Amino acid sequence: MNGGQERQRVKKGNLIIVLILCVVSILFLFPILLVFINSFKFKLDVINTPFALPNAVSFAGLSNYTSGLSATGFFRAAGFSVFITVFSVALIVLFSSMTAWFITRSRSVLCRTLYFVFTFAMIVPFQMVMFPLTVVANLLHLDNPVGILFIYLGFGAGTSVFLYSGFIKSIPVAVEEAAVIDGCTPIRAFFSVVLPMLTPISITVAILNTMWIWNDYLLPNLIIGSEYRTIPVAVQYLRGGYGSIDMGYMMAVITMALVPIIIFYFFCQKHIIRGVTAGSVKG
């Protein structure tokens, strides 16, 4: 009897948790759904009835999409976004993994200090350094799509090195020693043995940084400005003077900007939990 009551209690508890999670999911998804619905409505209807579904009067068809994409130069901006995101993530994965491996395997005071520096970098707000960063980027001629890759490398290295370090601690040193005995140099041992074993956490690092860089507005706007617009920067150019904002266009462009990263996340979300969990074994 007690066992049956316990099972009923567990079922009720699980049901409550499921209901709470459903409510939270709806709250998170509602703004996205609202943007999508309003992307098919005329400008005045978006402003006057933002929560209503499109009807025969307010339905704008695909005109918001065609006009919005043309007004923002969306596909050119998408090209810059893809270039910056892909190559920034590649640099972060490569250099952060090498750095974390060296710091973890070396027991010198310098390496321990570097680890704490990378960890500290995770909690420094971007707003504290954005103005000096802009000046330095101009002086070093990093205010272009190639230069900004190295700036993203610097900002993404803190969290990435932290995640890689926790994962590398779970890899036995004997694996690398065996590779060295077989004739591998330390660098070759890393690329041939260690890096393939870092695949789960590398996928996690790549996913997290991809979502951050793709959606980032402030850094591209400060560093490369309007000359090389990424998608988040291009969206703001739909705004003109007072009263000239076409919210229909803006909703359509925001929807187009969300689609690639949502698809990317749905395909890769399982790797985030797996990689973070594996990286916390001996963190």
For 15-54, write each residue's pLDDT tens digit.
Answer: 888 899 899 988 888 888 888 888 888 888 888 888 888 8
Q: Residue 74's CB: how many other CB atoms inside 10 A?
A: 21
Mention the CATH class of domain 63-279. Answer: mainly alpha
Tens-place pLDDT, residues 107-152: 788 888 888 888 888 888 887 888 888 888 888 888 888 999 999 9
**Long-range contact list for 229-233, CB < 8 A, 24+ apart?**
229/72, 229/73, 229/76, 229/77, 229/80, 230/77, 230/80, 230/81, 230/84, 231/74, 231/77, 231/78, 231/81, 231/257, 232/257, 233/77
Tens-place pLDDT, residues 89-118: 999 999 999 999 989 888 788 888 888 888
DSSP letters, 76-98, are: HHHHHHHHHHHHHHHHHHHHHHH
